[in-house]
Amino acid sequence: MATPYDVAIVGLGPAGVVAAALLGQAGLKVHVCDRMDAVHEIPRAIALDHEILRVFQQIGVVDAVAEHCEPFTPSEYFGVDGQLIRRMTMVAPPYPQGHTPSIVFTQPPVERLLRARVARLSNVTVALATEATSLAQDADGATLMLRRANGDEEALRARWVIACDGGASAVRGMVGIELEDLDFDEPWLVVDVMVNERGLAKLPRTSVQYCEPERPCTLVIGPGNHRRWEISLKAGEDPQQAATPEGTWKLLARWLTPEDGTLWRQSSYRFHALVAQRWRAGRVFLAGDAAHMQPPFLGQGMCQGVRDVSNLAWKLAAVVQGHAQGDAAQRLLDSYGDERGAHVRELTRRIKAIGAVICERDVAKARARDAQLLAECGGVVKDTPRQDVLPRLETGLLAPEATSGRGTLFPQPRGADGALMDERHGHGWRLVVDPALPAPAATAGLAVIVADARTDRDGVVAGWMQRNGCHAALVRPDHYVFGTAASAGELEPLLAAWTAQLH
Ligand SMILES: Cc1cc2nc3c(=O)[nH]c(=O)nc-3n(C[C@H](O)[C@H](O)[C@H](O)COP(=O)(O)OP(=O)(O)OC[C@H]3O[C@@H](n4cnc5c(N)ncnc54)[C@H](O)[C@@H]3O)c2cc1C
């Protein structure tokens, strides 16, 4: 049977649609299906990071989504006696990635804009109301059985498959991958309210984590009049009753009455921490919620899915287009799960630690927590940028020497003309050197960028190099740093390690 598609993607949620856009832009022939016939109209994700906006920039939607985004207000954590114990903010300007570091957004219209982008790619076929029902693999590719809403069935061949079919992923089951439980399981109610002027006047001006043993809960200031509450449920409380309008208004009574706004949605969820035991089974990769789920305390679920597909897309494109072959191709593809698996586990560990601060139900322990957090900052709560919580890549396609900058997300400077680095230099491999080093000659497959006043107007790269004690960084297509060099003498082994790992 012919192999008409390079990649078949199952699921057109945030992970699937970004995968389709990235692979389509790279020139691959892509098929993407979703069993639903339209975007999910209920927002789930509400916060995103600058790293995701940089991916949106890459796929050409960052300006279009701006009207649905606002800067994320600080999140203030209040302890047992209502005192401030922690304050999560965002990194200060000049913004390292060229975008607001933390935003809140409205998910349905942003997803529609992402889909509209994919619709403009003639090499991407989108099949809505089409469910993947089975999958078989052989040496040359995979065959997916697709069932349309009218019952018609079709066999689709692709060289590679990405399962972006969400937390209950059927494809994950088809390839026999289990989820590992990272030990978090709590019932919460999530409520979205469109609040009127009268209601807004009653509410805090920042987002809040109420770290109260009686009932831990979260208030997020969303875009416009959108406010989200995440409210923990107590043992013995009925999640279904809590999710009725009456049950929900009762839980919101501390802040609002029904005259203060309109319920957009209220759903009870179990907040989980789960990760796939393997991220690849032959020709099939898992991405997004199909590969991991984490409690939403840092707003990272969708961000992690976009990180997954941003990590995978350039590797798959390199293999399909023959830039990586044989063992090097397999190593490159395996590095996806190695890198993302370790990153997800570490970030989930950190999110659980944040959750443990928020969710302490024992009053004595909660008071001890408050005292400890205040003692740690000398009694004056300092701002912690949310971005500081994110781990680096520790393993995978990286230079052998673990320097300070290796595995971190490289900044995106603005040039003197205001243009961002990726607009000017694209998304391939880049060697960025500061003017202290003689710039090496351009090598095939590697752009050389000198970070001077012309390309780094605000000194974002200069500051990064200084903090990381280096004068050059070799940056991957997904903007993670392969390795750094502190001198001209260290450049040669860095480039040799790059060549050895990729070719
Ligand atoms: C209450 C809550 C708050 C959250 N807050 C945040 C936040 O602030 N920030 C953040 O980054 N994340 C947040 N998240 C997480 C975020 O919403 C998810 O991580 C994200 O939506 C997952 O995207 P996905 O594309 O992997 O999966 P999904 O969005 O679940 O999409 C999967 C798609 O696959 C389709 N599908 C399923 N099975 C099949 C099949 N067999 N065939 C074809 N199609 C199929 C489905 O129809 C669906 O469209 C939150 C989640 C919740 C529940």
The per-residue pLDDT for range 18-27, each reduced to its tens digit, is: 999 999 999 9
Q: Tell me, in angstroms, the distance from the centre of ligand 1 to residue 289's CA.
A: 6
433, 472 Cβ separation under 8 angstroms: yes
pLDDT at 2: 52
Pocket test for ligand 1, best of 217, 289, 303 (most atoms within 8 A of CB): 289
Phi, psi of 110 (to 5 degrees): -65, -40
pLDDT at 444: 83
451 lines ligand 1 (CB under 6 A): no
Stretches in the chain below the pLDDT threshold 70? 1-3
Ligand 1 atom index nearest CA of 104: 8
The residues pairing with 406 across neighbouring beta strands, listed in sequence order, are none
Which helix (H) or strand (E) segment holds residue 174: the answer is: helix 170-174
222 lines ligand 1 (CB under 6 A): no
Q: How many CA atoms lie within 13 A of 493 on its CB side?
A: 9
pLDDT digits over 18-51, tens only? 999 999 999 999 999 999 999 999 999 999 999 9
205, 160 Cβ separation under 8 angstroms: no
Pocket test for ligand 1, best of 33, 125, 165 (most atoms within 8 A of CB): 165
N residues, the chain: 503
252 lines ligand 1 (CB under 6 A): no
Q: Tell me, in angstroms, the distance from the centre of ligand 1 to residue 269's CA.
A: 13
206, 73 Cβ separation under 8 angstroms: yes
Pocket test for ligand 1, best of 17, 18, 31, 34 (most atoms within 8 A of CB): 34
15 lines ligand 1 (CB under 6 A): yes
In sequence order, the 6+-apart residues with CB closer than 8 A to the CB of 146 are: 33, 127, 130, 131, 132, 133, 153, 154, 155, 156
Token pair, residue 451, equals 């970070």
In sequence order, the 6+-apart residues with CB closer than 8 A to the CB of 160 are: 6, 7, 8, 141, 142, 283, 284, 285, 316, 320
How many CB atoms are located within 10 Å of the residue 389 CB?
15
Pocket test for ligand 1, best of 31, 32, 33, 44 (most atoms within 8 A of CB): 44
How many CB atoms are located within 10 Å of the residue 498 CB?
21
Q: Tell me, in angstroms, the distance from the centre of ligand 1 to residue 16's CA.
A: 10
Ligand 1 atom index nearest CA of 220: 8
Coil vs helix vs strand at 218: strand
Q: Tell me, in angstroms, the distance from the centre of ligand 1 to residue 12's CA.
A: 9
pLDDT at 503: 77
Q: Tell me, in angstroms, the distance from the centre of ligand 1 to residue 369's CA.
A: 33
In sequence order, the 6+-apart residues with CB closer than 8 A to the CB of 382 are: 87
pLDDT at 445: 87
pLDDT digits over 318-365, tens only? 999 999 989 999 999 999 999 999 999 999 999 999 999 999 999 999
461, 451 Cβ separation under 8 angstroms: yes
Distance CA 388, CA 382 (A): 13
pLDDT at 438: 87
Q: Tell me, in angstroms, the distance from the centre of ligand 1 to residue 136's CA.
A: 25
Distance CA 301, CA 18 (A): 14
Pick the residue whose CA is nearest to atom 6 on ligand 1: 45
228 lines ligand 1 (CB under 6 A): no
Distance CA 285, CA 312 (A): 9
Q: Tell me, in angstroms, the distance from the centre of ligand 1 to residue 166's CA.
A: 5
221 lines ligand 1 (CB under 6 A): no
pLDDT at 442: 77
Judge if pTM exceeds 0.95.
yes
Pick the residue whose CA is nearest to atom 15 on ligand 1: 301
pLDDT at 104: 98
Q: Which of 409, 415, 430, 306 is nearest to 56 (CA)?
A: 306
Q: Tell me, in angstroms, the distance from the centre of ligand 1 to residue 404's CA.
A: 34
Q: Tell me, in angstroms, the distance from the centre of ligand 1 to residue 380's CA.
A: 38
